[in-house]
Structure 1
Amino acid sequence: MNNVIELVGFDGDDTLWHSEGYYQSAHGEFERIIGEYVDLADVRVHDRLLATERRNIKLFGYGAKGMTLSMLESAIDITGQRISATDLHRIIELGKQVLAHPVELLPGIRAAVEAVAQHHRVVLITKGDLFHQEQKVASSGLADLFHRIEIVSEKDERTYRNVLDEFQLAPARFAMVGNSLRSDIAPVVEMGGWGVYMPYHVTWAHETDTDFVDRASRVIQVEGPTGIAGAIEELQGRAAA
């Protein structure tokens, strides 16, 4: 069978462990701080912060540190430089809290990875700040399950091709499991691979910014970790057909 899936990649944040909720909480507190200076509805704080974060990705990368710098920049801009040093310090503390949050696995995810690993090689491909992601991986207790752990600055076709080159595999032999259509699913499917899409209950707006549509039944959506192993086997059947 020339197209049997040999390698399965797993995303980290909001696929293996909870993450986005901590960022959303920080954003909410940020808006409360800014609300002491301006009318939140009038200045569109949420939209302006998101625009700043998107603009700064190429400079700061993904993760809590980039978010914190973008919040500081936005706070100064939105308040017309009126924000106090005390409140700027409060924003810095928000970033530190996100960096220090405990790693809480999604229920059933370890069993799901173990089930997939019984029949396929598995790799972890996660993006974000290197130091923070290394801490999460170490704290998760899942590192021993993966043949390879890749912490990357962006998830695009080049990133996935680099991983596949290391394993000497064609894209048709690779499936990716993740909660982001934009980062986890679209690049892999568009290069000829397969996807298991497991939506998280809250997703950063930047990750929902995609026009990707699965037109070839190369993606299966599951509602939680218990569906992952079955989805991979279903995809393997399609790949072998």
Structure 2
Amino acid sequence: MQLTTIGLDADDTLWHNERFFTLTQSRFAELLADHAEAEHLSERLLAAEHRNVGRYGFGIKGFVLSMIETAVEVTEGRVPGSVIGQIIAAGQEMLAHPIELLDGVQATVEALADKHRLVLITKGDLLDQERKLAQSGLGELFDAVEIVSHKTPDAYARVFARHGDGAAHALMAGNSMASDVVAPLNAGAWGVFVPHGLEWALERAPTPEGHPRFRRISTLADLPALIDDIESS
């Protein structure tokens, strides 16, 4: 089995991301503590994010708009302007936060780039994702960068056809079971789960145990050896 294209997720696969959302959501709960319990507020915010993904897409800007919408809802329109200002400021801080690579990522991406066509496949706000990639120092190691609205099987099929020999000869690795594993598997590629620890509820999906092209590794550093095993089998 010859793999010609390796796809890698970005957020929480190459660099830290979800923890900044978690910290901001904790701050959001503090701001609205007089109006809603933290657990109830979290449920309302998640519902707003789910509704708004189709409108705003994935990323920080949609998250901020969902927080504002939730604040208006739980206060029945009485949320102070100062609170809205603090929510916006929190989002701006997230957008300005420096990139922190996960342990071992630099060496692993370099090793993969030596042997395979490497494609970064991510979703979210175009400007923010471009900023993160530029700051990461990894940009030159990728043969292509694909920033998509949604990681669907059709999207993967198009990407792997454009940057290789199709999904049958491609592998995708990332921390999202839904977007980085199940979707590429359904496109005919290999799907490798690299757990991060923090997981956004909207990215959860049943583990495809028993699927012949599903694999799980502990860290991204294990990926080159896994690829060698796949190609030698």
Letter in 2 for 1:5: L
Whole-angstrom CA distance in 2 between matches of 1:19 and 1:31: 19
Contact conserved, 2:4 with 2:164, CA < 8 A, in 1? no
* Pairs within 5 Å for 1:107-122: 107-122=103-118
Q: Which amino acid aligns with 1:50?
A: L
Q: Structure 2 matches for 1:19-98, cutoff 5 A?
A: 19-41=17-39, 44-98=40-94
1:230 matched to 2:225? The reply is: yes
Q: Could you give the per-residue CA deviations for residues 207-237 of structure 1, whole angstroms, max 9, x where no partner exists? A: 11x2341323312211112211111222223
The amino acid of 2:101's aligned partner reads L
Structure 2: gaps (5+ residues)? none
Superposed CA deviations along residues 37-85 of structure 1, whole A, max 9, x for unmatched, are 33445xx111110010010000000000000000000000011112100
Instruction: Quote the Cα distance in structure 2 between the aligned partners of 1:215 and 1:226.
Output: 23
Label 1:237 to 1:219 Cα distance change in 2 as closer, same or farther (>3 A).
farther
What CA distance in whole angstroms lies between the structure 2 residues aligned with 1:124 and 1:21?
21
| Local SS of the residue matching 1:123 | strand
TM, length-normalised to structure 1: 0.92
- AA matched with 2:32: I
- The Cα shift of 1:116 comes to 1.5
Match of residue 167, structure 2, among 148, 161, 171 = 171
Deviation of the 1:168 alpha carbon: 4.8
Query: What's the secondary structure of 1:9's corresponding residue?
Result: strand
In structure 1, distance between residues paired with 2:115 and 2:36: 56
Listed as ranges, the matches of 1:85-164 within 5 Å are: 85-164=81-160
- CA root-mean-square deviation: 1.3
TM-score by length of 2: 0.96
Structure 1 unaligned segments of length 5 or more: list them.
none
Does structure 2 retain, via aligned residues, the 8 Å contact 1:60–1:66? yes
Select between 159-168 and 20-29 the one with higher mean Cα deviation. Answer: 159-168
Question: Could you tell me how far 1:131 is from its partner in structure 2?
Answer: 0.5
SS at match of 1:195: strand
* C-alpha distance in structure 2 between counterparts of 1:168 and 1:134, whole Å: 23
State the SS of the aligned residue for 1:8: strand
Q: Structure 1 residue 170: deviation in Å?
A: 2.5
Of stretches 62-71 and 211-220 in structure 1, the one that deviates more from structure 2 is 211-220
- Number of residue pairs matched? 233
Q: Alignment partner for residue 212 of structure 2, among 204, 217, 227?
A: 217
Tell me the distance in 2 between the aligned counterparts of 1:159 and 1:52: 25
- 2:12 corresponds to: 14
Question: Aligned partners of 1:178 and 1:162: how far apart in 2?
Answer: 18
Identical amino acids, percent of aligned pairs: 37
User: How far apart, in 1, do the equivalents of 2:38 and 2:11 lie?
Assistant: 29
* SS of equivalent residue, structure 1 residue 36: coil
Residue 56 of structure 1 contacts residue 70 of structure 1 at CA under 8 Å; is this kept in 2? yes
